[in-house]
Amino acid sequence: MSTTVLEQPALQQVTDVHQYDYSNLRQYVHPPETKDDLPWSELVTLDLEDYSRPGGKERLAKQLEHAVHHVGFFYVKNYGLTDEQVQQQFTLAKNFFELPTEKKEPFEVNYAAADYNGWRRPRRQLDASNQAFGNIEMYNFAKFTKDFEGKYDHPDLIKAHLEEIEVFHRALHSNVVLPLLRLFAIVLQLPDEDYLVKQHTYEKKSEDHFRYMIYHPRTEEEWAAADYGKKGGHTDLGTVTLLFRQPVAGLQILGEDNEWTWVSPQPGTITVNLADTISHLTGGWLKSSVHRVVAPPKDQREYNRTGLLYFARPHNDTVLVPITDSPVLEKAGVKPRFEQHVTMEQWVRAKQTLQLNPDIAAKKYSESKDGTVEVLAGFRDRKYKE
């Protein structure tokens, strides 16, 4: 008679309630800046502390006028979050990305549904070069509102800090996104300073998201196969994108002179770029800036490039037609950019399908006669200078 040896169930590990305290996590430390003398972009810095002083909004709007029409990029400082709060988010990002794959896998995004909240694994697809696998890994958080309640689960590390992540998410929206939208309204001379704010309330449904992002280092051969990132020129699809200080150089902007310049890491700032939707709402007058992320300079290639970003978007039901009561837009004679009635929800789905599926995009570009591809209702995207 044979005896069956039953495997003993592993002893349940006692979870230490302090396991995820910041003091028990591996601290994030920014890599050193490059020593290379790169052609840096010259961008203005808005001091948001000035916003609430008498005449401050008008001063800031004046400072923004050129940047939002011609450059599409600028910095903001004094945005009402402490260095410690920012540092904690970088630390969470680092510890999240260092989790073993099997701990992140249960939270992987639903790629088929063109969703993007949750974990996106690296090396899943070819990148814009169409020859090398992407080196980006990310984790996106939807807004902390009833529309998304219970929709996305998180690993224990994140669950332990979800309250601070919510505070951070909401602070970026209220301290940075909304004041900027009022400044844009002043630049556009809108009679209602809250016109754009009313299309971007936190509580109403929109696809804003906060992101932890990491670019894993590539070998020289991998960078060569990826054309050093030179094919990655793009515009973002939302209203504005916020990027916390990024010391690992790589981000470049395509200027009006058709030259690429590098974004430098200014202490205590967030880099802001305007994106497609705010451009649609102004018939192209506010500039959705073309940018890309290329191989870092040689002295930084060995480092992980960890980013904290916020992507702002209007409510899903916003109709993407130019604002009608702006004397600035009227004078410029701007035209709608779509042939039909297009909502934000439709726009997100159309552009995201191309962004999330580089194989579909590559196929469309290869079939295109003039190097452009229709995203939606006559609006076309194109490849940018390499």
Ligand X SMILES: O=C(O)CCC(=O)C(=O)O
**Segment holding 180, helix H or strand E:** helix 178-187
Complex with ligand X: residue 158 or 213, whichever CB lies closer: 213
Which of 89-97, 202-210, 220-228, 242-250 is the region at the interface with ligand X (rule: CB under 6 A)? 242-250
- Distance between CA atoms of residues 300 and 323, nearest Å: 44
Residue 251 binding partner per list ligand X, Fe ion, none, with a CB distance cut-off of 5 to 8 Å that depends on partner kind:
ligand X
Residue 182 binding partner per list ligand X, Fe ion, none, with a CB distance cut-off of 5 to 8 Å that depends on partner kind:
none
Map residues 304-323 to x or -, x wherever contact with ligand X holds by CB under 6 A: ---x----------------
Residue 43: phi and psi, rounded to 5, are: -120, 145
253 binds ligand X (CB under 6 A): no
Strand pairing partners for 372? 382
Complex with ligand X: residue 121 or 204, whichever CB lies closer: 121
Map residues 289-308 to x or -, x wherever contact with Fe ion holds by CB under 5 A: --------------------
- Return the amino acid letter for 142: A
**Segment holding 73, helix H or strand E:** strand 73-77
Give me the half-sphere count of Cα atoms (radius 13 Å) on the Cβ side of residue 362. Answer: 13
Contact (CB, 8 A) for 129 and 231: yes
Residue 307 binding partner per list Fe ion, ligand X, none, with a CB distance cut-off of 5 to 8 Å that depends on partner kind:
ligand X
Q: Is 23 helix (H, G, I), strand (E, B) or coil?
A: helix
Contact (CB, 8 A) for 36 and 297: yes
**At closest approach, how far in Å is the CB of 251 from ligand X?**
4
276 binds ligand X (CB under 6 A): no
Which of 8-16, 179-187, 244-252, 344-352 is the region at the interface with ligand X (rule: CB under 6 A)? 244-252
Report the residue from 214, 242, 243, 253 that binds ligand X according to the rule CB under 6 A.
243
251 binds ligand X (CB under 6 A): yes
Residue 302 CB partners (closer than 8 Å, separation 6+):
217
Q: How do 209-215 and 291-293 pair as beta strands?
A: unpaired
List interacting residues with Fe ion (CB under 5 A): 236
* Residues that bind ligand X in the complex, under the rule CB under 6 A: 236, 243, 246, 250-251, 291, 293, 307
